Amino acid sequence: MRRRLVIVSLVALVLVLDQWSKAWVRAHLDVPRQWFGGLVSFFVTENSGAFLSLGANLPPTARTILFGVFVGLTLAFAAYALVTGRVRASEAYAVSLVVGGGIGNLIDRIARGGRVTDFIYMEAGPLHTGVFNIADVAITGGVLWLFLSSLTARPRTQDHPAAPPS
């Protein structure tokens, strides 16, 4: 029961931080701002694609199906798996980050005509990111966590003994 409460709280925290930050930058960020000598910049942009604008050039109907319907169904399945305990404990927090961030971006797509508000950009010399948001950070962090977890996961034990050699 305690784990479910933490999982739901993590999803809610990511969702609230994401939606609050997007609303704040849309309302208050009228000109780009830079910090740390230009390492971090904030400016508002709308992204009709996914990560790094992938899929932004797809026809609107294809984007709606892919980023709305398919993502919505995937998030619903992941949320169901989380609350019913079908996700291993070691991966539940990672999936919670993905679900919280995914719901945040899905809310944007529904409310903003298929577009997501992005506003964070980082640049250090020749290295730079695309423009992203808090939901993207949560999704990326969750996916990386799941990837690293898969590299260190122990194989599951079988419920039945191996057949004797012939």
Burial (0-12, 13-18, 19+ Cβ within 10 Å), 68: middle
Catalytic residue among 18, 108, 118, 159: 118
E-strand stretches of the chain: 33-35, 40-47, 116-124, 127-128
30 is catalytic: no
Q: Of the residues 18, 30, 136, 159, which is catalytic?
A: 136
CA 139 – CA 141 distance, rounded (Å)? 5
Contact 97, 145 (CB under 8 A): yes
Diameter over CA atoms, the chain: 75
Count of CB atoms situated within 10 Å of the CB of 16: 13
118 is catalytic: yes
Catalytic residue ranges: 118, 136
